[in-house]
Chains A and B, each alone.
Chain A
Amino acid sequence: FLTELTRLFQKCRTSGSVFITLKKYDGRTKPVPRKGHAESFEPADNKCLLRATDGKKKISTVVSSKEVNKFQMAYSNLLRANMDGLKKKDKKSKNKKSKATQ
């Protein structure tokens, strides 16, 4: 997933957006039935679903609490490395308000 995500960011550098969605995931793979007969499985609580798209291609992965540490390190680096097209602040305006934003 992380490789694909890197590629997705790189592809979009010249145009378009990258959308990333994060949702809590309970392990359900079938849609909830309309006339409730009780679900026959245990919803798991410790997973989340991470999706990324550039509007055309979609990728997704499930992260569980065991993987979250390792995944986050790589994922944070990835986000920071790729979201570098933003404006940098001037030195002059930094002094006055720097404490408030921390």
Chain B
Amino acid sequence: FQVRVVLKYRHCDGNLCIKVTDDVACLLYRTDQAQDVKKIEKFHSQLMRLMVAKESRSSTMETD
């Protein structure tokens, strides 16, 4: 039906998990590294921008 992004942060366990699914495919990324926080945060922002953009296509895809 739709794409959704879920971000899960556990301070006590010290890890961060991001999931993107369109109900057909599901991508999951888990990390415990501080250097990934910045990447995940940037990625999350990109996804947010894609969602509010009116154009149906966007070329700002990250291949990380």
A binds B: yes
* A positions within 8 Å CB-CB of B: 9, 12-25, 45-48, 50, 63-65, 68, 72, 75-76, 79-80, 82-89, 101
Closest to A102 in B: B64
Number of interface residues of B (CB under 8 A): 34
Q: Other than the known A21-B5, A84-B37, what 17 A-B pairs have Cβ atoms closer than 8 Å?
A: A9-B9, A16-B10, A18-B9, A21-B7, A22-B6, A22-B47, A46-B53, A46-B54, A48-B52, A65-B52, A65-B53, A80-B37, A83-B11, A83-B16, A83-B37, A86-B36, A89-B35
Q: List 16 A-B contacts (CB under 8 A).
A: A13-B12, A14-B12, A17-B8, A17-B9, A18-B10, A21-B4, A22-B51, A23-B5, A24-B2, A48-B52, A83-B37, A84-B37, A85-B12, A86-B36, A86-B37, A87-B14
